[in-house]
Chains A and B, each alone.
Chain A
Amino acid sequence: MRRIKIFQGILLVSLSMNFSCTKFLQENPRSFYTPDNYYTSLVQAQNAVNGIYAFTRDFYASIGLYSEDAMFMLEMPTGQARTEINQSNNNANLLNLTMTPTDLYFTQWWRSSYKGIDAANLAIKNIQLMSSAIVPDAQKAQLLGEAQFLRAWFYFNLTRIFGDVPLITEPTVTADNLQVSRTATKDIYEKEIVPDLLAAEKSGLPFVDNTGRVSIGAVKSLLAKVYETMAGYPLLQTDKYALAKQKALDVISSNKYTLYQNYDQFRDPANDNKMENIFMAQFSSAIASSPMFSFTLPSFSYISNGQGEIGALLPDPTFYKSYEPGDKRTGERQFFYSHYPNFTTGANVVFTNGQHIFKYFDDVAQQTGLPSGKCFPVIRLSDIYLLYAEAQNEADGMPGADAYIYLNAIRTRAGLTPLAGLTHDQFRKAVWKERNHELCFENQTWFDMVRTRMVYDTKNDQFVPMVGYSFPGSGATKTFQTKHLLFPIPQSEMDVNPKLAPNNSGY
């Protein structure tokens, strides 16, 4: 009897460990949010937009194993670049124009752009659903404006790099129907990029923002570049030059941005998001550092306080020699440098491989050894000045007075004689050359090349068609073919989505 009672007691105890089956197995994560329990306050709406900005760093940050950076994809194949270290097949293939769809950078541009786009889609959709009691209408418009600018910028890069790409404007919520087909370039501009930017233009954002956020100045500048590109290849909508000219003028005449007076100001981190800078990819030494200083320091030159000195990107000598005599930008420690004191001993170190890029030299990082926190310039005023000059020349058939003013502002800063009395074609080429010399190694040159399909023949100081151009000194082993006007869609993406086939022709 006693045995049964005790048995019952113990049975009750063990049965009491019976939790209700389904509740016991439910998952209640404590370390992350799910879409059901987020988007409930103004701060959360802001965070949803903040998250989109993070992806802008991916194109200028260090990736891969061998001092690799996605921004090299737009520099190495221009015929104007070299490298000092040879451990990266990704860099080598671009320098030799032998890139294949399995190379690393194509994946990085494609993948990070679409991640940013999904983050923007998610933010836009959910913020729109939030009531105006939580997010007042004025702030809602601004938050949406930021997201729309960033989404447009991601698509602008995608279509300039890959051509026809899938157009997705809704966030992904299930794993069904993920295989999408490519949308024509024209539709991407007309149905997505331009409408997003026009909406952002009316969002009520401030004209300038010194913290790194999207501003109306940034929106108008991007619109100007978008219109300029639509006017060129592949769309050739030449009516857009007038619109480009108008937007560029809006930015210039606002007087909210100031041209650098010397090139040290370009490098100075104190000028991040100020002076000429209209939109930058944000970095910070302690939070997420930029590798550009390290990558452009000459390999193992010991001129800095323990920085990695990689020598991954430097100019081809023919490009350096293509600047006009007396051009300040080729002076020592302006855009380039060829020697520097050893950090410990002070002895002068003359670089084995000649001229290196000085644009990203970070004085603070060089002294302290801390990682460089210099933001990367995506759009700056000099770009808009030259863009205006080019657009006005094209829109009106011949260069006007203010076109000369803005072109010459860039030239006189470089110590060059101002130009005057040029024909339409001479002016156009003068602007192109100035763009190439001023904006070199800022991820602008390649985009200028593919929208004009002309390339700066540095050896002979002239512009020639891009297709058929051989890199100087390469003995015709490195020659642009038609296929090089676009980069290949990453092979891993082709493998997983057959609807994208065929890849860009030639790959």
Chain B
Amino acid sequence: MDENSTPLVGVSIVVKGTRVAATTNEKGSFTIHVQPHAVLLMSYIGYQPLEIPVGDQTVLNAQMKLSSKSLGDVVVIGYGTQRKVDVTGSVASVASAVIRERPSPNALGALAGQVPGLNITTNSGRPGDYRINIRGFNSINASNNPLFVVDGVIGVDYTTINPNDIATIDVLKDASSTSIYGARGSGGVIIITTKHGFNSRPMVNYSFVGGYNVLPREIPVLNSTEYQAIEKAAYAFVPGRAYPDFATLEPELYNPDGTPRYNTNWQKEVYKPTFSQNHNLSVTGGNDDLRYSMNYGYQDDEALLLLTYNKKYSMRINVDGKVNNWLSTGLNLSGTYFQERIQDDGVGGLTATREVLEALPMIPVKRTDGTWGGNWMHLASEGADNPVNILQTKYNINNRTVVLGSTFFNIRLSRDLDFRTSFSGQINTNKNNNAFSGSAVQRGLYQRISAGVNADKAVYWQSSSYFTYKKAFKGDHNLNVMLGAEWAKNSYEIVSASASKFDGDFYLWNNLGAANVPNPPTSSSYDWQINSYFSRAIYSLKDKYLFTATGRYDGSSKFGANHKYAFFPSAAFAWRVSEEGFLKNNRVINNLKLRVSYGSTGNSEIGQYQSISSLTSNTAIFNNTRATGEVQGTIPNPDLQWEKTNQFDLGVDLSLFGNRINLVADIYDKETKNLLLSAPVPFTSGYDNILKNIGSVRNRGIELGLMTNNLTGPFQWNTTINFTINRNKILALGTHNEDIFPGPRFLDQTNILRVGEQVGTFFGLEREGVWGSAEGAKAAVYNAKPGDLKEKDINGDGKIDGNDRTILGYAYPTYTMELINKFAYKNFDLLIDLQVSQGNKVLNLAYATSEDRQTLANSYKTVLNAWTPDNENTSIAKVRLNSDGPSLRQDNHYLEDGSFIRGKNISLGYNFSSRLVESMHLHNLRVYAGVQNAFLITKYKYGYDPEVSTYPQAFAYGIEFYALPKARTFNFGVNVGF
């Protein structure tokens, strides 16, 4: 049985030194014939293996201990499996029990913080919106995402996997483990293995998690009275300029005495509590010849923003069959249907998440006649619709269907030689429906009503075959050689249509032909193909000295004619020091392994057709009619090739006091060369840039994973600390190592790529404050007046321009840490999960629009501290109308310290005792309740959450512009098996 005294099904029991074996049945019982003085070895995925001498016993009870950090049996390493103790690379395994502890829209949310070096952060409060990277960012233009392999299918979209389907996740971090994936491995590899059936009678399991989501905190913005005071001050910026008589001009909004009628708290109107739920039902069972696992799931994740959801219906069936003693086969088939409604897209425009903070407080949500209120009701404001109006009239819905299937045949050619061939496919289709009307219908602005549809389809197939040869030679030599080949192809097509100026909002996207202004439809398609040959040899001597060598020869259609193929090798050595005589029965150290590896991987995740020359079409107009034009497109680069990453890893696995204290530590050094960069070319060529392999980036870091079983008696307490430090440095850039400004560009460039600095470096002016009344002469030098912003003239040349910009801070943290404490007493268990991030800065671009545009839109409460002759010690310029002169600068005022400590998950569970459970004819019953995002300690004030990124590129990390806030979620869950 397991740590909760629940029977464990499918435990593998072997009589040590023989091939006599058995497995436990659904009651956790087994029968085995042994000789006297035999020793039984028991092993089960996710649990620590047991060695039990039988002695004279005929009946034996054994309890297995959970091993979430897998000193457990086996890890999946890509085209094979390996005993954890034999692994020479840096591989971390996460068991499904750990994933189930953390309710999340997809598997990534549950993985966050579980593996040092695996950095998973959320970009915003949109469900499932994650940014993921292993050991730092290697690439600027190619994707940095790790490669996902699901049951052998390479490149699957992880969002399509139901977290409840997962049995284990193996994270491959160093070259020795990832090189076998060659040209797609430099971002690291995450291998997901889904649940398969056991030799047992059918077992049914149902789990439910419900979540109640609330907004953790509001951002302080002006209320109506404060807004009016600021507005009066802004009009008074020009002496003698009269404040408009709003009581007469806008009687709907103002009382006769001039005070505002309404005081709307838009954050309360828009961010209302929501309810998420997740149901899962699984049926598994089988016998020696046929095993099955069926899984059904329904998930509905709601964000805080009205009308934002992510629903998933999923189904999976995994079948494993033994045809005869040399042929086995299997099928993994899953289908998933998503429905997602997004409301936080359209960054830069007057979106709902922006209007929540910028809508004027004296505007009502609805006017007395029932129509929508909006900023346009007030003189000189920016004319935006109110956010509730936007949310109710804006649609951006994705309906996605994913079918993933793979089948394999495993042929035992001889005792030592196996051949496995598999064929997999994935079909991923999406229909996107969008429409927007805002208050257009109400205001008669029918040309503003727009709608559109997009439909795309991706078909991926993959054919893999490999031989595995395993032999133990006399003298404690063990050899494992694998040799294989692979072909894969992805075909993608998309078609889009849109139209505007409908006569109302009835049709939405369901009748584009009824619009008055149709836009020309567009379509396109592309393919890419990969062909590879790979091999791995593992040699171990005396079970103590382990050598691994891998090599992969990859060819991709994306690369230039001169470099279609490339070779990626690796080598590793590990020494199981604890098997040596001097440590064999040491009472303190029960496991010590030293590992070192070096190798290379590649990154092929760029777009297609980048190496060839192309034309492109544009549109000319003659007589109000469209005419096609055909002009230059891209310059060819026949030398375009892979980004290549060479990585060195040194690691130690240490366990003390009988696994009471376990430490996994790695130190690594990765250098990525041939970085794919858009090298700017002179505009005189008629082009903007050409994709070239010209940069190089280095990542160095330390990963520490510490697991301690502090108390092991009736009251149990164990702790896990995962600690990650990564230092990223750009070594070479551009043809002359010149700076690159990759964007986004806001008032000016926001960040810089510079040799010697890291990716994600903020760049801009430094704000010294505001010119004081006594500084009129000095201010005039800079074309400014007292009350205007004072920027630092870094080069002292008497003007504030691009040369005064400097490096302001870094987006990536100095270190991150996850502190997990688990307590168990009798039937109760308590989990406390803390997330720490230190040293990261956040560039909140919303300051520019929500602080410096008085009278155009609402502002942060910070403007109450704006400069006046009586309040000179401030960084906020004197309030004014927008037409009075510039007061916006891309400077460090918008940069805040984003360090935080988050109470990520606090969860209390109760397992009903086996007697009670059996009397209900059940197998197990567990209930739990908890809080996710329970608390947040941070200095970041004018954004909802410092773990935020509005733009997807690696170099734009930590830049926010009105992101959707993350919720605090109160969970309640039930797990029942029978």
**Interface set of A (CB-CB < 8 Å, partner B):** 3, 6-7, 10-11, 13-14, 17-19, 21-22, 24-35, 38, 44, 47-54, 57, 65, 84-87, 89, 92, 96, 98, 100, 102, 107, 110-111, 114-115, 117-119, 121-122, 165-166, 168, 171-175, 178-180, 210-213, 272-273, 282-284, 286-288, 299-300, 302, 305-306, 311, 352-353, 368-371, 373, 477, 490-493, 495-497
Is the pair B618, A51 in contact by a Cβ cutoff of 8 Å?
Answer: yes
Q: A18-B487, A27-B608 are in contact. List 7 more A-B contacts (CB 8 A).
A: A14-B421, A26-B557, A38-B630, A50-B627, A51-B617, A180-B682, A306-B448
Shortest CB-to-CB span from B437 to chain A, Å, is 13
Which residues does chain A contribute within 8 Å of B382, judged by CB atoms?
300
Closest to A495 in B: B738
Which listed residue, B446, B690, B783, touches A175 by the CB 8 Å rule?
B690
User: In the complex, what distance in Å separates the CA atom of A121 from the CA atom of B686?
Assistant: 10
User: In the complex, what distance in Å separates the CA atom of A7 from the CA atom of B463?
Assistant: 17
User: In the complex, what distance in Å separates the CA atom of A368 from the CA atom of B882?
Assistant: 28
Which residues does chain B contribute within 8 Å of A17, judged by CB atoms?
463, 487
Is the pair B883, A86 in contact by a Cβ cutoff of 8 Å?
Answer: yes
Is the pair B615, A32 in contact by a Cβ cutoff of 8 Å?
Answer: yes
Is the pair B629, A54 in contact by a Cβ cutoff of 8 Å?
Answer: yes
> Can you name 17 A-B pairs with beta carbons within 8 Å?
A24-B531, A24-B557, A29-B612, A38-B615, A48-B630, A54-B618, A84-B883, A86-B882, A118-B687, A175-B681, A178-B684, A211-B623, A212-B623, A300-B380, A493-B682, A496-B680, A496-B682
Which listed residue, B445, B528, B622, B883, touches A211 by the CB 8 Å rule?
B622
Is the pair A35, B686 in contact by a Cβ cutoff of 8 Å?
Answer: no
Classify the interface of chain B: helix, strand, loop or mixed. Answer: mixed
Closest to B887 in A: A86
Is the pair B630, A51 in contact by a Cβ cutoff of 8 Å?
Answer: yes
Is the pair B631, A54 in contact by a Cβ cutoff of 8 Å?
Answer: yes
Which residues from 614 to 669 on chain B have a C-beta closer than 8 Å to any C-beta of chain A?
Answer: 614-633, 635-637
Is the pair B421, A10 in contact by a Cβ cutoff of 8 Å?
Answer: yes
B interface residues, tally (CB under 8 Å): 95
Q: In this assembly, does B101 line the interface, its C-beta being within 8 Å of a C-beta of chain A? A: no
Q: When A and B form their complex, what is the total count of cross-chain residue pairs whose Cβ atoms lie within 8 Å?
A: 262
Is the pair A300, B886 in contact by a Cβ cutoff of 8 Å?
Answer: no
Closest to A166 in B: B684
Which residues does chain B contribute within 8 Å of A22, judged by CB atoms?
564
Is the pair B619, A287 in contact by a Cβ cutoff of 8 Å?
Answer: yes
Q: In this assembly, does B444 line the interface, its C-beta being within 8 Å of a C-beta of chain A? A: yes
Which residues does chain B contribute within 8 Å of A173, judged by CB atoms?
613, 635
Shortest CB-to-CB span from B596 to chain A, Å, is 35
Which residues does chain B contribute within 8 Å of A26, judged by CB atoms?
557
Which residues does chain B contribute within 8 Å of A57, judged by CB atoms?
621
Q: In this assembly, does B529 line the interface, its C-beta being within 8 Å of a C-beta of chain A? A: yes
With contact pairs A100-B801, A497-B684 given, residues A368 and B618 touching in the complex (Cβ less than 8 Å): no
Is the pair B623, A273 in contact by a Cβ cutoff of 8 Å?
Answer: yes
Is the pair A87, B888 in contact by a Cβ cutoff of 8 Å?
Answer: yes
Is the pair A172, B411 in contact by a Cβ cutoff of 8 Å?
Answer: no
Q: In this assembly, does B524 line the interface, its C-beta being within 8 Å of a C-beta of chain A? A: yes
Q: In this assembly, does B711 line the interface, its C-beta being within 8 Å of a C-beta of chain A? A: no
Closest to B419 in A: A7
Is the pair A50, B628 in contact by a Cβ cutoff of 8 Å?
Answer: yes
Which residues does chain A contribute within 8 Å of B799, judged by CB atoms?
98
Which residues does chain A contribute within 8 Å of B636, judged by CB atoms?
174-175
Which listed residue, B445, B465, B620, B685, touches A172 by the CB 8 Å rule?
B685
Is the pair B447, A368 in contact by a Cβ cutoff of 8 Å?
Answer: yes
Which residues does chain A contribute within 8 Å of B631, judged by CB atoms?
48, 51-52, 54, 115, 118-119, 122
Q: In this assembly, does B381 line the interface, its C-beta being within 8 Å of a C-beta of chain A? A: yes
Chain B 433-453, CB-CB to A under 8 Å as 1, else 0, gives: 000000010011111100000
Is the pair B682, A212 in contact by a Cβ cutoff of 8 Å?
Answer: no
Q: In this assembly, does B896 line the interface, its C-beta being within 8 Å of a C-beta of chain A? A: no
Shortest CB-to-CB span from A121 to chain B, Å, is 8
Shortest CB-to-CB span from B325 to chain A, Å, is 10
Is the pair B632, A21 in contact by a Cβ cutoff of 8 Å?
Answer: no
User: In the complex, what distance in Å separates the CA atom of A115 from the CA atom of B799?
Assistant: 33
Which residues from 740 to 765 on chain B have a C-beta closer than 8 Å to any C-beta of chain A?
Answer: 745-748
Q: In this assembly, does B370 line the interface, its C-beta being within 8 Å of a C-beta of chain A? A: no
Is the pair B525, A168 in contact by a Cβ cutoff of 8 Å?
Answer: no
Which listed residue, A51, A114, A477, touches B683 by the CB 8 Å rule?
A114
Is the pair B613, A35 in contact by a Cβ cutoff of 8 Å?
Answer: yes
User: In the complex, what distance in Å separates the CA atom of A179 from the CA atom of B682?
Assistant: 7
Which residues from 321 to 349 on chain B have a C-beta closer than 8 Å to any C-beta of chain A?
Answer: 326-327, 348
Q: In this assembly, does B413 line the interface, its C-beta being within 8 Å of a C-beta of chain A? A: yes
Which residues does chain A contribute within 8 Å of B627, judged by CB atoms?
47, 50, 53
Chain B 346-369, CB-CB to A under 8 Å as 1, else 0, gives: 001000000000000000000000
User: In the complex, what distance in Å separates the CA atom of A89 from the CA atom of B885?
Assistant: 11
Chain B 776-806, CB-CB to A under 8 Å as 1, else 0, gives: 0000000100000000000000010110000
Closest to B327 in A: A6
With contact pairs A53-B620, A212-B622, A370-B501 given, residues A300 and B381 touching in the complex (Cβ less than 8 Å): yes
Is the pair B531, A19 in contact by a Cβ cutoff of 8 Å?
Answer: yes
Is the pair B531, A102 in contact by a Cβ cutoff of 8 Å?
Answer: no
User: In the complex, what distance in Å separates the CA atom of A162 from the CA atom of B345?
Assistant: 40
Which listed residue, A98, A172, A284, A369, touches B635 by the CB 8 Å rule?
A172
Shortest CB-to-CB span from B466 to chain A, Å, is 10
User: In the complex, what distance in Å separates the CA atom of A351 from the CA atom of B529?
Assistant: 62
Chain B 585-626, CB-CB to A under 8 Å as 1, else 0, gives: 000000000000000000000001101111111111111111
Shortest CB-to-CB span from A92 to chain B, Å, is 6
Q: In this assembly, does B373 line the interface, its C-beta being within 8 Å of a C-beta of chain A? A: no
Which listed residue, A10, A18, A98, A100, touches B411 by the CB 8 Å rule?
A10
Q: In this assembly, does B383 line the interface, its C-beta being within 8 Å of a C-beta of chain A? A: yes
User: In the complex, what distance in Å separates the CA atom of A117 from the CA atom of B687?
Assistant: 11
User: In the complex, what distance in Å separates the CA atom of A34 from the CA atom of B923?
Assistant: 66
Which residues does chain B contribute within 8 Å of A168, judged by CB atoms?
684-685
With contact pairs A17-B463, A25-B529, A118-B632 given, residues A51 and B620 touching in the complex (Cβ less than 8 Å): yes
Which residues does chain A contribute within 8 Å of B682, judged by CB atoms?
166, 178-180, 493, 496-497
Closest to B444 in A: A305
Which listed residue, A11, A52, A87, A493, touches B882 by the CB 8 Å rule?
A87
Shortest CB-to-CB span from B277 to chain A, Å, is 41
Is the pair A284, B621 in contact by a Cβ cutoff of 8 Å?
Answer: yes
Nearest 5 interchain pairs by C-beta: A118-B686, A51-B629, A51-B631, A31-B524, A282-B621
Which residues does chain B contribute within 8 Å of A89, judged by CB atoms?
747-748, 886
User: In the complex, what distance in Å separates the CA atom of A213 from the CA atom of B681?
Assistant: 31
User: In the complex, what distance in Å separates the CA atom of A491 from the CA atom of B887?
Assistant: 25
User: In the complex, what distance in Å separates the CA atom of A282 from the CA atom of B616?
Assistant: 20
With contact pairs A50-B628, A100-B802 given, residues A87 and B886 touching in the complex (Cβ less than 8 Å): yes
Q: In this assembly, does B206 line the interface, its C-beta being within 8 Å of a C-beta of chain A? A: no
User: In the complex, what distance in Å separates the CA atom of A49 from the CA atom of B376?
Assistant: 45
Is the pair A7, B525 in contact by a Cβ cutoff of 8 Å?
Answer: no
Is the pair A33, B685 in contact by a Cβ cutoff of 8 Å?
Answer: no
Chain B 510-554, CB-CB to A under 8 Å as 1, else 0, gives: 000000010100011111110100000000000000000000000
Shortest CB-to-CB span from A287 to chain B, Å, is 5
Shortest CB-to-CB span from A140 to chain B, Å, is 17
Shortest CB-to-CB span from A20 to chain B, Å, is 10
With contact pairs A122-B631, A286-B517 given, residues A54 and B620 touching in the complex (Cβ less than 8 Å): yes
With contact pairs A32-B616, A38-B615, A89-B747 given, residues A122 and B531 touching in the complex (Cβ less than 8 Å): no
Which residues does chain B contribute within 8 Å of A174, judged by CB atoms?
635-636
Closest to A87 in B: B888
Is the pair B556, A50 in contact by a Cβ cutoff of 8 Å?
Answer: no
Which listed residue, A14, A283, A353, A477, touches B783 by the CB 8 Å rule?
A477
Closest to A104 in B: B745
Shortest CB-to-CB span from B728 to chain A, Å, is 24
With contact pairs A14-B463, A300-B382 given, residues A47 and B531 touching in the complex (Cβ less than 8 Å): no
User: In the complex, what distance in Å separates the CA atom of A286 from the CA atom of B799?
Assistant: 44
With contact pairs A54-B618, A369-B448 given, residues A210 and B783 touching in the complex (Cβ less than 8 Å): no
Shortest CB-to-CB span from A2 to chain B, Å, is 10
Which residues does chain B contribute within 8 Å of A28, judged by CB atoms?
527
Is the pair A34, B612 in contact by a Cβ cutoff of 8 Å?
Answer: yes
Q: In this assembly, does B918 line the interface, its C-beta being within 8 Å of a C-beta of chain A? A: no
